[in-house]
Structure 1
Amino acid sequence: MKDFDALKDIWHSQLAAPRLSYEDILKGIRKSKASFANKLLVETIGMFFAIVLFALIWLDSSSMMWTTHLSLLIFLVCCLYYLFVQVRDYRSISNSEHLLKEPEEYISYLKDYRRKRYALNTRKYTVYSIFIGIAFGLYFVEIYFSSPLWHTIAGIVAIALWFIICWYLMKTYIRREQERLTGMIEKLERLEKQFSTEHN
């Protein structure tokens, strides 16, 4: 019986979670946060250049059908919305450093942030994609009337392929982003649990 108890004690000691270093966890959280903020910044800069490109195309083209003007307006509004969201999220994650002093508050902030990002990348992205699709459809009205039929068909096929690729990449993007945020939350929760057991 003593051997069995000793074996049970060894087994439980091996299953015990390793102690976490507060400094290591915070260093990892800060690194993940900085990496995430940098990714948002790069996406924001990319969207800014897309807005400038659409504006230049719109200003440079003198003769356009009303459908083309409407399509470029939809493109610009969609890009401006995306730019606004990315800037807001970048500022939010960058300015959350002070919350690290309060782990419970930071965990709550990250959970809320993860939920909002998931909603943005799923429901809001679907609406965004529908408007982009409408803009492309309106743009191809002019292509249909001013170019050979094969240009229109090739363009529609290319856009359809682009949407399929974006859908696939978006699924991967959502999974990685959620994993990164979940990893940050889990590390903080383990640290908080460790502190609560130490003080009891």
Structure 2
Amino acid sequence: MKDFDHLMSVWQAQPKKEHLSVDEVLKQVKKGIRSFTTRLYWGIVAMICTVVAAFIIMFFMAFKSPATTSGILIILLAMAMYLYVMLRHYHILNKHDLTQNPTDYLNSLKQYQKDRNRTIGWLYYTYILLISAGLALYFIEVLENAPLYFKVLIYGFTIIWFMFTTFYIKPRMFKNEEEKLNLMIDRLERLQDQFD
């Protein structure tokens, strides 16, 4: 009996789960999604401008070497691939209205998270490799008459920049986004559990 009383006192001492305010959760989730979609929107705009600039360079500048044109085509392919994924993620986030069907919205957020996690790894590295290969081919002709120290400086800076973005910026940026996304999904799941 003593153990039962002790067990009852421990059970009753457990903190009660706080009930989430529906309005507050919806406001926070909408704000978080708006942050994601705004960042994606401006990324899409920047990528489209960059693709247009690359097309202009490729078609209106006279290059002697086919390697230069191949380099620009490889860069365009990489940017088009990344642009497609950004558009797809933007569409997933804007597909459902949170207030009309919260379950569908939660499922679309989970789909976005799964899709994003799957593509972040291989797509980012593929993108960096293609951009690097394209720039290497592009720089062959562009830096043809440059002094050796300038070539080493440009190639070295490009390599350092790609290493910095790949191993320093990318993990921090995606970890931060992942935490925000997990928080939104957790809040929506807790809210859903309150009503089940």
TM-score range (shorter-chain normalised) is 0.7 to 0.9
Q: Is the 8 A contact 1:71 1:135 kept in 2?
A: yes
Post-superposition Cα deviations, 1:116-140, rounded to whole Å, max 9, x if no partner, equal 1112221111111111111122123
Q: Is the 8 A contact 1:41 1:90 kept in 2?
A: yes
**What letter matches 2:13 in structure 1?**
W
Q: Which residue does the alignment assign to 1:156? A: 155
Superposed displacement of residue 186, structure 1: 0.1
Q: Is the 8 A contact 1:34 1:94 kept in 2?
A: no
Q: Is the 8 A contact 2:110 2:185 kept in 1?
A: yes
Superposed displacement of residue 54, structure 1: 1.4
Q: Is the 8 A contact 2:93 2:108 kept in 1?
A: no
Q: Which residue does the alignment assign to 1:172? A: 172
Q: Is the 8 A contact 2:92 2:108 kept in 1?
A: no
For the residues of structure 2 that align with 1:84 and 1:48, how far apart are their CA atoms?
11
Post-superposition Cα deviations, 1:13-45, rounded to whole Å, max 9, x if no partner, equal xx2221111121112111111111111001111
Structure 2: segments with no counterpart, 5+ residues: none
Structure 1: segments with no counterpart, 5+ residues: none
**What letter matches 1:109 in structure 2?**
S
TM-score normalised according to structure 1 size: 0.86
Post-superposition Cα deviations, 1:79-99, rounded to whole Å, max 9, x if no partner, equal 1222222122212211221x5
For the residues of structure 2 that align with 1:95 and 1:5, how far apart are their CA atoms?
48
| Percent of residue pairs identical | 27
Cα distance change, pair 5–128 in 1 and its aligned pair in 2 (3 A):
closer
Q: Is the 8 A contact 2:58 2:72 kept in 1?
A: yes
Q: Which moved more, 1:129-138 or 1:3-12?
A: 3-12
**What letter matches 2:81 in structure 1?**
Y
Q: Which residue does the alignment assign to 2:50? A: 50
Q: Is the 8 A contact 1:118 1:174 kept in 2?
A: no
Q: Is the 8 A contact 1:70 1:135 kept in 2?
A: yes
Q: Which residue does the alignment assign to 2:187? A: 187
Superposition CA RMSD, Å: 2.1
Q: Which residue does the alignment assign to 1:101? A: 100
- Corresponding pairs, count: 192
Q: Is the 8 A contact 1:143 1:152 kept in 2?
A: no
TM-score normalised according to structure 2 size: 0.87
Post-superposition Cα deviations, 1:145-182, rounded to whole Å, max 9, x if no partner, equal 33221221111101111101211211112112211211
User: Which structure has the highest helix share of the two?
Assistant: 1
Q: Which residue does the alignment assign to 1:61? A: 61
For the residues of structure 1 that align with 2:80 and 2:104, how far apart are their CA atoms?
31
Q: Is the 8 A contact 2:32 2:180 kept in 1?
A: yes
Q: Which residue does the alignment assign to 2:13? A: 11
2:193 is paired with a residue whose SS is helix
Superposed displacement of residue 110, structure 1: 1.4
For the residues of structure 2 that align with 1:53 and 1:41, how far apart are their CA atoms?
18
